[in-house]
Structure 1
Amino acid sequence: MLSKRFPRMSVALAGAAVLLSAGTAYAQAGFSLSGKPVIAMLYYGPKNDGGWTQAFDEARVKIEAALGQKIQFVENVGEDASVIKPAAERFISRGANIVIGTAFGQSDAMKDLAAKYPKVAFLNGSGTTNGPNLESFYGRTYESQYLCGMAAGAASKTGKLGFVAANPFGVVNWTINAFALGAQKMNPNATVNVIYTGTWNDPVKERAAATALIDQGADVIGQHVDSPTPQIVAQERGVYGTGHHRDLRQFAPKATLCSSVWVWDRFLVPELKKVIAGNWKPEPYGAFIPMSGGGTDIAGFGAAVPADKVKVIQAERDAILKGKQVYAGPLKDRDGKERVAAGAVLSDADLWKMDWFVKGVVTQK
């Protein structure tokens, strides 16, 4: 995900920990378009980046088919308001009345635009600002990463897993912990060594991290970074991996066991239909989408995951779709501190600020 989309995230997540789950509420009378719907999208990066932006572009094609209309888009809209606002206003001047952003760093500009253009509907993937005509949305990636962890645990011969992560933020830490919990469901003794690259998209650093983890004995490499490099390295070294953002079998068909994939069309199609139908009511604290609502899913499985284990993973997927919680108690961290009591579920606010790890996770820089 996120490359320079999150330049201020180390600071922002302290507040953003509750923005999507506990933002500023407002009176909702419902929003209705004035005129025929015209949709435009602001892509953070190039549409063929292999990860975050490409997942949005692939969703766009499906949304067009579902709604029966073309969607305008522009690539490489960064996080500077001086770029974001003119791009959006160019579309609005041409008649767009639904604008979809795709980056955390577009949040403030989206808020300003929503205030300036109250008759335009704004949605923003991975954003943190919301309002009467603005809704940010993000997926509960820990659900699909938990399932990928199960695949990793099932395929591993040693129980030693590695994970290439970008930054030690809540949205990454919850995927690491979920990956570990999934692996341990299949192998209670599984461990996960983590190396943070310090950046969301740096193939050189990702290669170095994946190589180091394999050298340390990991025979499956998980990831929460933008590029497919960890999967490519896994294939080169004759081990396995699990992908993030998209089905990374495209890049490493022999190595990739499964991937946590974005399925934005499953959320955006019904949400856009609400906007088009009239009286749309954006979630006042943003939409934090479960797998059942079209946030993420899994794609796979590789041949290294035994058929009987695939059935177990699919059964767990079905349970999550029916409401099973990954972070249900009792749950302790690796230091023995209780994080979730028996019968309780970790709150959304605690998910966003997650700075702890479950047993079996070893973090390195």
Structure 2
Amino acid sequence: MQKKSKKPLLRALVAALGFSAAMSASAADPLKVGFVYIGPIGDHGWTYQHEQGRKMLAEQMGDKVETSFVENVPEGADAERVIRNMAKSGYDLIFTTSFGYMNPTLKVAKQFPKVTFEHATGYKQAKNLGTYLSRSYEGRYVGGYLAAKMTKTKKIGYIASFPIPEVIRDINSIQLALDKYNPGTEIKVVWVNSWFDPGKESDAANALIDQGVDVVFQHTDSPAPIQTAERRGVYAVGYASDMQHFGPKAVLTSIVNNWGPHYIKSAQAVIDGNWKSQDYWGGLNDDTIQLPISDLVPADVKAEAEQIEASIKSGEFHPFTGPIKDQSGAVKIADGVVATNAELASMNYYVENVKAELPK
């Protein structure tokens, strides 16, 4: 009797094992996560903090994710090209981290429905596009309290990037704190029309200090305003990252953005298959905003600042609780009413007592 060859059986077994191994490898493929940055990762501000968040994601999730980034991407056509190239290159989750990326992100998201997108600071969403931002106005309010207590000239400066809602509401939040804790204190605003331009930021800081400002805030990304304040002998409040080391004799606090936990949560949700589009606002209560207060601040002032911070964390106090009027005296938020996220996200007016003029 002729024996049957075992080769077909072996081939079938090998093929089956190979298929199984391929399936296993596919199941274990890392989630590809991309980040699009407006500035350089070394700006020590906004982009730097997003990069710290990416690093935290990579470190804590290990081989479950594969991350990369593109820095210095201008808003507009270049952003759309970069975002689309990421989507075409097999990225599963893409974070776009500047307000001006909103429309390009939405356009690409519609073209790549199987890719998940999240856009920082915007308000347009889709089934596969969510939004996220920090409640930086909470930190600004506490910073405004510190400025109210530390100023001698009753003139506070603000170096602003672009007249978009997040910048406007942060200015308003500071003014509300000034009105409460040192009435008559004025906030002066200089618009630099840039997110990252150390030269312009330094010039703006000098111009404000020349006008008598003795506490400088910024909504820009470089440490240049801090360094200028240190050199000129006035106080400053940092933004995005802890800028204390750039001005040890100047920095009262910094409104620090801590993005890592959100990036980890979003990536895990995509892996688990339960990610849903949402409008995420992270604040003091979930550690998305952190406020390291300097020893330059007297102990009693620091203690009260910490009490204000605790009341915001607990929900007992909200900086935008009415009555709040605009510069014309019109009531924008009624007495006892707390502003909704939608009202905060679309804020396009200065509150009363802001003496500056809002750019058209």
Q: Is the pair's TM-score, using the shorter chain for normalization, greater than 0.5?
A: yes
Measure the CA separation in 1 of the matches of 2:344 and 2:198. 28
Measure the CA separation in 1 of the matches of 2:196 and 2:68. 26
Change (3 A) 1:229 1:332: same
For the residue of structure 2 that corresponds to 1:38, the secondary structure is strand
Matched, 1:59 2:53: yes
Q: Which amino acid aligns with 2:42?
A: N
Q: Superposed, which structure 2 residues align to 1:319-358 within 5 Å? A: 319-323=311-315, 324-358=317-351
Matched, 1:179 2:174: yes
In structure 1, stretches of 5+ residues that fail to align are: 1-32
Structure 1 partner of 2:62: 68
For the residue of structure 1 that corresponds to 2:356, the secondary structure is strand
The alpha-carbon deviation at position 92 of structure 1 amounts to 5.0
Q: Which amino acid aligns with 1:100?
A: F
Cα pair 1:40 1:99 within 8 Å, conserved: yes
Structure 2 partner of 1:303: 295
Structure 2 partner of 1:44: 38
Q: Which amino acid aligns with 1:194?
A: V
CA RMSD in angstroms comes to 2.6
Cα pair 2:34 2:86 within 8 Å, conserved: no
Which 10-residue stretch deviates more, 259-268 or 232-241?
259-268
TM-score, length-normalised on structure 2?
0.82
Measure the CA separation in 2 of the matches of 1:327 and 1:312. 19
Q: Which amino acid aligns with 1:322?
A: S
Q: Which digits, 9 at most, give the CA deviation of each residue in 1:9-48, with x for residues without a partner?
A: xxxxxxxxxxxxxxxxxxxxxxxx9964222222232211
Matched, 1:124 2:116: no
Q: Which amino acid aligns with 2:69?
A: F
Measure the CA separation in 1 of the matches of 2:189 and 2:83. 38
Change (3 A) 1:351 1:82: closer
In structure 2, stretches of 5+ residues that fail to align are: 1-26
Structure 1 partner of 2:131: 136
Which 10-residue stretch deviates more, 326-335 or 77-86?
77-86
For the residue of structure 2 that corresponds to 1:122, the secondary structure is strand
Measure the CA separation in 2 of the matches of 1:348 and 1:337. 20
Structure 2 partner of 1:361: 354
Change (3 A) 1:133 1:158: same
Measure the CA separation in 1 of the matches of 2:252 and 2:189. 19
Measure the CA separation in 2 of the matches of 1:353 and 1:120. 28
Measure the CA separation in 2 of the matches of 1:336 and 1:86. 45
Q: Which amino acid aligns with 1:327?
A: F
Change (3 A) 1:341 1:129: closer
Measure the CA separation in 2 of the matches of 1:42 and 1:295. 20
Structure 1 partner of 2:309: 317
Change (3 A) 1:359 1:113: closer
Change (3 A) 1:73 1:176: same
The alpha-carbon deviation at position 201 of structure 1 amounts to 2.9
Q: Which amino acid aligns with 1:297?
A: Q
The alpha-carbon deviation at position 257 of structure 1 amounts to 0.8
Q: Which amino acid aligns with 2:74?
A: G
Cα pair 1:264 1:294 within 8 Å, conserved: no
The alpha-carbon deviation at position 293 of structure 1 amounts to 4.3
Q: Which amino acid aligns with 1:116?
A: Q
Structure 1 partner of 2:94: 99
Structure 2 partner of 1:254: 249
Cα pair 1:242 1:258 within 8 Å, conserved: yes
Structure 1 partner of 2:109: 114
Measure the CA separation in 2 of the matches of 1:316 and 1:107. 33
Measure the CA separation in 2 of the matches of 1:217 and 1:311. 28
By relative contact order (CA 8 Å, sep 6+), the higher-ranking structure is 1
For the residue of structure 2 that corresponds to 1:73, the secondary structure is strand
Matched, 1:166 2:161: yes
Measure the CA separation in 1 of the matches of 2:146 and 2:237. 8
Structure 1 stretches (4+) deviating beyond 6 angstroms? none
Q: Which amino acid aligns with 1:309?
A: V
Q: Which amino acid aligns with 2:355?
A: V
The alpha-carbon deviation at position 310 of structure 1 amounts to 1.1
